[in-house]
Amino acid sequence: MVLGAAGTVLRYQILNGQVVDPRIIAVMILAGFFCFFTFLMSTSSLRYVFLNMTNIDMLGAPSKVYQLAVVVPHDQRPSTSGTLPYPTVTYPLPNLELGVNGEANRPGRDTQTASSNGSGLSGQTARDALAVRTFAILKTEPGENPWHLSYGRNWKEVMGNNVFDWILPIKRSPCTHYESHESFYPFGPVLDDVCARYGVSNPVRRRGSESEMRELISRDTNNRITTSR
């Protein structure tokens, strides 16, 4: 605005043969400098918004690799004898006497011992097995951004869901209100690609862990009733 106003006055003085006011020149130089500086800051911020990344994330982004802990469903847990293309971690950590984290959860080996009915640990009921979670540690390719939803969704996650939120920065960004058991922030299509490369089902796409928990609890309750009879 200042640059445009100063430029209009300067043009008027030149066209009318008036002496150019040196203060107008100074104002145009300062306004041009801050306009250029603001333009660079704005374009950088827009780039971060559309990519759903921060300035820290952008450091080394083309070669950055992320490790994602993807929960494996109870009915899809890998066998103890098979060799996996990814490391796994099981919580709670079993047999801590065997080692510190690494020995009990070394890559390519699931530390859980399957029970006869395939629903949990040996000697435990299905309800007890619900406390056990096995995670597959998957790596992205260099430069992949797991949180890139789409340019439109990225914009709304930061700026708001309507035009009024874009103009009036009163409300907090929708991404700060995201609540999920899968992650702190929503994942984009990259998670599908990573899970497909490793042959692991996407936990966000399949039914939630709450449904699995209700089914196993119901199954365990029915087994208890049958046994008591």
At 132, is the secondary structure helix, strand, or coil?
coil
* End-to-end alpha carbon distance in the chain: 84
Instruction: Give 138's strand partners.
Output: 68
Mean pLDDT of the chain: 77
Within the chain, residue ranges assigned H as helices are 2-15, 22-51, 126-129, 151-159, 163-167, 189-198, 209-228
Half-sphere exposure of 144 (CA within 13 A, CB side): 18
Side by side, the strands of the sheet bearing 133-139 are 67-72, 133-139, 88-91
Q: Please, which pLDDT band fits residue 92 given cuts at 50, 70 and 90?
A: confident
pLDDT digits (tens, 9 = 90+) for 164-186: 989 888 888 888 888 777 788 88
Taking 80 as the threshold, does the pLDDT of residue 217 lie above it? no
What's the rounded Cα separation, in Å, for the pair 205 and 144? 19
In the chain, domain spans: 1-51, 61-148+186-228
